[in-house]
Structure formats: C-alpha cells, structure tokens
C-alpha cells in the first residue's frame, strides 16, 4: 500500500502544510496589510512537498544551521516558483509580502519538521504510521481550532479600534491604525462610556450576575447536599425532575412571566431579573453540585457526625471546603449565564438606567450608530468574563478531595 511509505507521507505532509499555511498567511496578510492578496495554490503545494521530501532524506543531519538554511531555501523556492509574485498582487514586491513569505516558510517548515520527526523514506512500521497520521491530524485540528476561536476576537477588537472613515473605505482592512493617539484609537470606547451609559450597564450587569451567583449558591449547596446525603420521600423523583425546567424553552416562559411580572410591578426592575435568573440557574447548579457531593466519601460525613457536627456545620466545615473546585466552577457557570442572559433582560427592562450589558448592546443596534461602537460594546461585554475565567481556571483544575480517603 502506497500510503504506508514514508515518501508518500512526506509528500502528503508537505502539500497539506504548504497549502494550509499559505491560506492562513494570505488571510493574515489581508487582515493586517490591508492589500488585496490571493491564494496561489499550485506553487505552494509543490514547494511544500519538495521541502518535506528534502527533509525526510536529510533528517539525520539536522542542526540549527540546517533549519535556517532550509527556511531560506524555501523562501527562495517560493519566489522562484511564483515568478516573484507569491500572492498574485500584480505589482512590485513590498517588504510586507516578503515578511509574509518568510513567516509562511517558517511555519511550514516547523510543521513539517514536527509531523515528520523520525519518519524514514521506506515502508513504515505500524506504530510509526499511526504516530505520523495522529500527529498530522492533531496538528491540523489544533491550528484550525485556534484560528476559529481567535479570528472572531481579532476582527471584533480590531473593528472596535477603527474609525468610521477607514471602515467604509476598506472593511477588510483590519490592521492597526497608524495613529499613536490613544484617544483616537479608543474613541469608540470613550464614546460608549460617556454618551451611551455603558458604565451603568456594566455596573448593572455586575450587580445582577454577582447577586445571582450568591443566591444560586445559597440555595443549591444545601439543596444538593440534601439530595446527595439525606433520605426523604420522593427524593429520586425530585432530583430527576429538577432538570426538567431545561426542557421548556425560555421563550415559552417569558410570555406568561411578562404578564405576571407586569401585574406584580416586578417587570421594569432588576429585582425581577434576580427572581428569574436564579430560578433558571439553580437546577443546573443543583445537578452539578449533587454529582460532586456524591463523589465525596460519605464516611467523612459520618466521621463528622460522630465528632459532633450538625448537618449545617458539616456543609460549612466539611462539604464546602472539599468541593471548592465544584463550587467555583458552578459560580463561574452561573455568572456567565447571568452575564450573557439576553431574552429576559430584553423583555423586562425598559429604562436605560436598568439595562444590563447585553440589553445595552442591543440598544446600540440601529442604523445611526456605527459598527465600531457595537464591536466595542461586545468587547466590553466579553472581557470581564474572560478575565474571570482565566483567573479562576487554576481553581477549576485543582482536585482537593484526592488523597483524603483510602490509601
């Protein structure tokens, strides 16, 4: 079978990475340089395959010098195969194009080197073959995933930093403005906070989210503990049906709730939201925490009872410290739900003073307000959650309960 041979593997790797990085570099070029670049398939395929075949033949002589030489060689190859015009710009070469080609060669070479490590030309053993294909797919998957997640962010942030004129001139040009004046660069943000009440929205969102987190935890920790440890009638039925609320789309709930809340005078208030939000988050919190409490040893609870603790003391002194990772992740989850919640905020809130961020951003969505303001609003809404998530990540990973029970 031809696909079991190292030569084929190297040609495959070279052509895939050559093409892949060229597409990405073209994209990067378009987004950062702001010129029209085109994907040039055939030459890059050929150069990639050539280089990877060379690598496979010469891999025993690898040194840093060899790496450098092959990258330089690849740049030369690209220029010669494309007749000096790698991205079909039909004009004399600029430094930026040259830089792109260098970046392209560098990443292509590194990718080829990483996926073809220890692969020889002849027929490959089963182990090496599997290793090779896994490495190739893993690398491709990883880079595609990174791109998919980072690209929208990049576009969002860059658009928010542009001004109206340059956006209309070339919507695809997402390079940074050459001005060094911060007031000009962040004009959209300044505008949002001074003229569009975003500081109030931000405060409202924080208030609602944090109170939702505390209310949810206040009810779900004892609730989950009871479901996990105590015996009471209809327990199984109850713990099963709690999650049922998620079978009902919130759009179905919002209409009757709108009517009821209007009559109770809860509609145009943050307090109304603070009733709805915990009601939607408590079931999941209950479910997640119950699962975690179940994984904790029941004998520890017994020991605590023998040591004279009441059930509430056990929750506070034993169960909560032990389930810190679970509580943190539940808190984070609830915070994100409340922070991002839109439907209820949209239906319930009328006063600008009460808007949460998601509701506030939507109020920007009219033809009079420029696109970069919207993007700046989105950045303001995203950043806090990202920061909190990155900060709390280490808590999520740490497994505190390990080692306390058994040998």
Partner 1 sequence: MASIKLNNISKWFGENHVIKDINLNIIDGEFIVLVGPSGCGKSTLLRIISGLEDLESGKILIENKDVTDKIPSDRKLSMVFQSYALYPHMNVFENIGFALKTSGINKEILTQKVNQVAETLKLKLLLNRLPKELSGGQKQRVAIGRAIIREPKAFLFDEPLSNLDASLRIEMRLEISRLHKKLGITTIYVTHDQVEAMTLANRIVVINEGKIIQVGTPKELYNRPKNLFVAKFIGTPKMNVLECTTINGNVYFIDKINKKTNIRCNNKDIQKIGFRAEKIIICETKKASFIGYAKFIEYLGAEQFIYVDVGVKENFVIVKEKPDIKVPLNQKLGLKISQKDIHFFSKNDTRLN
- Contact pick of 230, 234, 251, 306 for partner 1 (by CB under 8 A): 306
6-33 and 126-160 helices, crossing angle to 10°: 0
Q: How far is the CB of 310 from partner 1 (least distance, A)?
A: 9
**Closer residue to partner 1 in complex, CB, 155/316:** 316
How many Å apart are CA 294 and CA 303, to the nearest integer? 16
Kindly provide the b/e burial profile for residues 149-176, where b requires at least 16 CB atoms within 10 angstroms of the residue's own CB.
eeeeeeebbbbbbbbeeebeeeeebbbe
Regarding 249 and contact with partner 1 (CB under 8 A), the answer is: no
Q: How far is the CB of 320 from partner 1 (least distance, A)?
A: 10
Q: How far is the CB of 244 from partner 1 (least distance, A)?
A: 26
187-195 and 198-229 helices, crossing angle to 10°: 80
The site string for partner 1 over 75-114 (x = CB under 8 A, - otherwise) reads ----------------------------------------
**Closer residue to partner 1 in complex, CB, 122/308:** 308
- Contact pick of 130, 307, 350, 353 for partner 1 (by CB under 8 A): 307
Regarding 308 and contact with partner 1 (CB under 8 A), the answer is: yes
- Binding to partner 1 in span 332-361, by CB under 8 A: none
296, 310, 330: which is closest to 399 by C-alpha? 296
- Contact pick of 89, 128, 239, 401 for partner 1 (by CB under 8 A): 401
How crowded is residue 299: how many other Cβ atoms within 10 Å of its Cβ? 10
**Closer residue to partner 1 in complex, CB, 83/237:** 237
**Closer residue to partner 1 in complex, CB, 37/319:** 319
- Binding to partner 1 in span 199-228, by CB under 8 A: none
Asked if residue 79 lies in contact with residue 92, where contact means CB atoms within 8 angstroms, the answer is: no
**Closer residue to partner 1 in complex, CB, 296/378:** 296
Only one residue has tokens 């999941």, namely 284
Q: How far is the CB of 315 from partner 1 (least distance, A)?
A: 14
User: Three-class SS string for 341-366?
Assistant: CCHHHHHHCCCHHHCCHHHHHHHHCC
The site string for partner 1 over 285-304 (x = CB under 8 A, - otherwise) reads ------------x-xx-xxx
**Total residues interacting with partner 1, rule: CB under 8 A:** 23
**Closer residue to partner 1 in complex, CB, 230/252:** 230
**Closer residue to partner 1 in complex, CB, 265/404:** 404
Q: Which two tokens stand for residue 168?
A: 């209309």
Q: How far is the CB of 285 from partner 1 (least distance, A)?
A: 22
Q: Which stretch binds partner 1 (CB under 8 A): 13-21, 144-152, 170-178, 397-405?
A: 397-405
Regarding 400 and contact with partner 1 (CB under 8 A), the answer is: yes
**Closer residue to partner 1 in complex, CB, 307/350:** 307
Calculate ∠ Cα 347-349-352, nearest 5°: 135
**Closer residue to partner 1 in complex, CB, 149/402:** 402
Query: How many CA atoms are closer than 13 Å to the CA of 293, on its beta-carbon side?
Result: 25
How many Å apart are CA 26 and CA 101, to the nearest integer? 10
Q: How far is the CB of 400 from partner 1 (least distance, A)?
A: 6
Q: Which two tokens stand for residue 403?
A: 């080692």
What are the phi and psi torsion angles at 94 (to 5°)? -105, 170
Asked if residue 378 lies in contact with residue 156, where contact means CB atoms within 8 angstroms, the answer is: yes
Asked if residue 243 lies in contact with residue 262, where contact means CB atoms within 8 angstroms, the answer is: no
- Binding to partner 1 in span 309-328, by CB under 8 A: 309, 313, 318, 321-322
Q: How far is the CB of 406 from partner 1 (least distance, A)?
A: 5
For residue 317, give the DSSP letter.
I
Count of positions (residues) in the chain: 407
Q: Report the greatest alpha carbon distance in the chain.
A: 84
Q: Which residues bind partner 1 (CB under 8 A)?
A: 297, 299-300, 302-309, 313, 318, 321-322, 400-407
């Amino acid at each position: 079978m031809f696909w079991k041979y190292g030569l084929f593997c190297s040609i495959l790797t070279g052509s895939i990475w050559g093409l892949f990085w060229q597409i990405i570099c073209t994209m990067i070029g378009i987004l950062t340089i702001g010129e029209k670049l085109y994907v040039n398939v055939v030459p890059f395929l050929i150069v990639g395959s050539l280089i990877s075949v060379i690598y496979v033949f010469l891999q025993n002589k690898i040194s840093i010098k060899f790496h450098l030489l092959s990258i330089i060689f690849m740049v030369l190859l690209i220029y010669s195969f494309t007749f000096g015009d790698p991205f079909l710009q039909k004009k004399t070469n600029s430094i930026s194009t040259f830089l792109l080609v260098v970046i392209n060669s560098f990443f292509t070479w590194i990718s080829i080197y990483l996926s073809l490590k220890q692969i020889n030309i002849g027929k490959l053993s089963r182990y090496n073959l599997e290793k090779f294909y896994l490495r190739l797919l893993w690398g491709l998957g990883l880079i595609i995933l990174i791109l998919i997640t980072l690209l929208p962010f990049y576009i969002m942030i860059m658009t928010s930093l542009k001004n109206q004129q340059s956006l209309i001139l070339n919507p695809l040009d997402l390079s940074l403005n050459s001005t060094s004046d911060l007031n000009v660069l962040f004009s959209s943000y300044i505008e949002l906070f001074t003229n569009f009440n975003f500081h109030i929205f931000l405060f409202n969102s924080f208030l609602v989210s944090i109170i939702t987190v505390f209310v949810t935890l206040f009810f779900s920790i004892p609730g989950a503990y009871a479901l996990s440890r105590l015996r009471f009638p209809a327990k199984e039925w109850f713990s099963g049906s709690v999650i049922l609320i998620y079978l009902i789309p919130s759009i179905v709930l919002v209409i009757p709730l709108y009517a009821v809340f209007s009559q109770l005078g809860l509609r145009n208030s943050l307090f109304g939201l603070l009733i709805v939000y915990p009601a939607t988050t408590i079931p999941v919190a209950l479910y997640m925490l119950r699962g975690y409490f179940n994984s904790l040893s029941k004998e520890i609870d017994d020991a605590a009872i023998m040591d004279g603790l009441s059930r509430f003391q056990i929750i506070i002194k034993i169960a909560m410290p032990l389930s810190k990772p679970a509580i943190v992740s539940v808190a984070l989850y609830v915070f994100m739900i409340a922070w991002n919640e839109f439907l209820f905020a949209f239906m319930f809130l009328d006063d600008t003073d009460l808007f949460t961020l998601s509701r506030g951003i939507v109020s920007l969505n009219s033809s009079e307000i420029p696109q970069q303001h919207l993007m700046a609003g989105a950045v303001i809404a995203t950043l806090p959650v990202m920061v909190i998530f990155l900060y709390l990540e280490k808590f999520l990973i740490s497994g505190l309960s390990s080692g306390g029970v058994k040998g």
